Structure 1
């Protein structure tokens, strides 16, 4: 798998305020931890914001390990942005550590205004690839195309352009791009970096070159998908059910978080990754780990960032298919989705257009709104 597909250095260098902060070099991992623990003992408890409920378990594990109180709070990426900004402006910081999947917004709104700061522990610098260091990405997360393994012996779709044909009209489920920024980021990534592959997929499917009035092959595919009456919903839970619930004769085909494959065990669903889909089986995005600049417990916050860069710290999220950026940490064999088998077939996020992703969100929302057919 290509773990180095994203080039965060190119992006970060154009963002004012996103200066990397590296902990002072000390002799080995143990010394780093000892220094932070010692300094943290005199600080107040911390709160950690994350968009997954697994943060509650992670914070509890941290507290038990170090004897320092941390509380995990599940907060959506959109709410995180608003809370971080308001808390900083009012000098009343509640969220000390921010684990946020809306990287474009964080780089456009949080780092330039110094609401948050980037921190990379010195002993982790050799373990985190450079493109994930500034700002610090703790994991890459994936959305994958899935089918119902009970209804189909194999994935019923081999090319993304099939999803624009009458056979799949009204039978494709995705998150509504009007509700989640990383979906419009994906649209922009498709146009900026994936249009050649999308055009090649069109020719492979229809035996002729794509002709379109749109600006790119990526935009042409997005338009065609929108016009084919997909189920645009507000949650991965609804997509998981529409695709994976057992007993269906004609289940939906859908795009959802790899984390939802735990529903196979928890709910008896029949989700399977469409490993044969061309040109990609899905796409990924990243989760940043940042510290509130006005935190009253900076050493505890730094210790928590260090902790979640370790296998012990990030383990609860690895079970949901979140791939750590620490190259020494390996995914568990029992990860439910089987993502590692197809990780090299994900469309990798390219941060060189990250700020453009953020700036064009409204434009892509309008594009979807105009073309979407129910």
Structure 2
């Protein structure tokens, strides 16, 4: 008799477990309820969103107006975002609810695995977002591009990045200091890992012979030669843009800057031109990763903001600056000032798959730059 009761209990437990599993599966397959998310968000506290662009202020205001919520956008550099998110979490005093951080390696190495922040993919938009941008969610990719002065030249005066290592351009290349801008040394590492053959091919195309170097890669040889050619180092893209694009110049500069600086052509009378057809690339892309901080009092409002910025309406203030949504249904405006949209095949993409390698290699590349840089 006891054995029969035990069997009955076993069957009952198995049936209960099966029903629970099926119920869980059913819940998981329920369609995404945007209206439900909106209603839940309206019951929560105001949110603060960090981003490294000032456009986040308008984005937060637009979001708040659209959904009847309160939200504040705060321009915070990526390095400061990293410190603030970690400090706030450890103090159990979360101030920033959402972060769009342009330091993907830091997000992958510190924020996500250590539980300071998490990624959330809007289910109803997932099919429009390429797999490589889903986990963690990359909101935008931004281009850093080579630029020249259109008042001095009819077209880009340089056709190959190796030209920038020659005496003609000594002291005439303006760019942010890689020691203060982690995305620059990440770029070096991405080139070495994913495009070193193209850097070597560009050398052969320019000099007519194969590259012979004692360095670990063709990329390292180029970085060393560029550093030794005394580039003008700045602490912001604005200074590099001024050096290159200010009107009335007689001494031309080449420069590396965010495509967003091309808006200064209309706003400040700058003369910035995109170096199309530069070999092997006219620039590179870097990602803006969208994260929700752990411990936020407003998880639904944070998710709703992430959903919003993945739409054309939400990201519009940034697409105007040439920043590209990872949502394939969202394009750049026809009048975007840099013209990057028609030259994306000439831009080196960022490979999230090796972002942790970028993180591990940062100090090595910074030391390499420091040793070889000549003023």
**Structure 2 length-normalised TM:** 0.91
- Describe the SS at the equivalent of 1:246: coil
What RMSD, in angstroms, separates the aligned Cα atoms of the two structures? 1.1
Does the 8 Å contact 2:277/2:346 carry over to 1? Answer: no
Per the alignment, residue 333 of structure 1 pairs with 334
Per the alignment, residue 16 of structure 1 pairs with none
| Counterparts of 2:163 and 2:122, CA distance in 1 | 46
Does the 8 Å contact 2:132/2:352 carry over to 1? Answer: no
Describe how 1:11-160 pairs up with structure 2 within 5 A.
Answer: 26-27=30-31, 32-160=33-161
| Counterparts of 1:44 and 1:180, CA distance in 2 | 34
Per the alignment, residue 368 of structure 1 pairs with 369
- Describe the SS at the equivalent of 1:200: helix
Per the alignment, residue 17 of structure 2 pairs with none
Does the 8 Å contact 1:25/1:122 carry over to 2? Answer: no
| Counterparts of 1:351 and 1:41, CA distance in 2 | 34
- Describe the SS at the equivalent of 2:128: coil
| Counterparts of 2:352 and 2:113, CA distance in 1 | 17
- Describe the SS at the equivalent of 1:334: coil
Measured against aligned partners, the alpha-carbon deviations of 1:88-110 in whole angstroms (never above 9, x if no partner) come to 11111000001000000011000
1:33 is displaced (CA, Å) by 2.2
| Counterparts of 1:69 and 1:153, CA distance in 2 | 48
CA 1:373 to 1:153, structure 2 compared with 1: closer, same or farther past 3 Å?
Answer: same
| Counterparts of 2:340 and 2:332, CA distance in 1 | 10
Does the 8 Å contact 1:25/1:123 carry over to 2? Answer: no
Describe how 1:317-356 pairs up with structure 2 within 5 A.
Answer: 317-356=318-357
Does the 8 Å contact 2:103/2:183 carry over to 1? Answer: yes
Which aligned runs of 4 or more in structure 1 are off by greater than 6 angstroms? Answer: none
Structure whose alpha-carbon radius of gyration is higher: 2
Measured against aligned partners, the alpha-carbon deviations of 1:113-161 in whole angstroms (never above 9, x if no partner) come to 1111111111011111111100000111000000000100111000110
1:26 is displaced (CA, Å) by 4.9
Structure 1 unaligned segments of length 5 or more: list them.
1-22
Does the 8 Å contact 1:172/1:253 carry over to 2? Answer: yes
| Counterparts of 2:285 and 2:39, CA distance in 1 | 38
Bigger proportion of residues as helix: 2
1:24 is displaced (CA, Å) by 5.6
Structure 2 unaligned segments of length 5 or more: list them.
1-26
| Counterparts of 2:372 and 2:54, CA distance in 1 | 34
Does the 8 Å contact 2:192/2:217 carry over to 1? Answer: yes
- Describe the SS at the equivalent of 2:188: helix
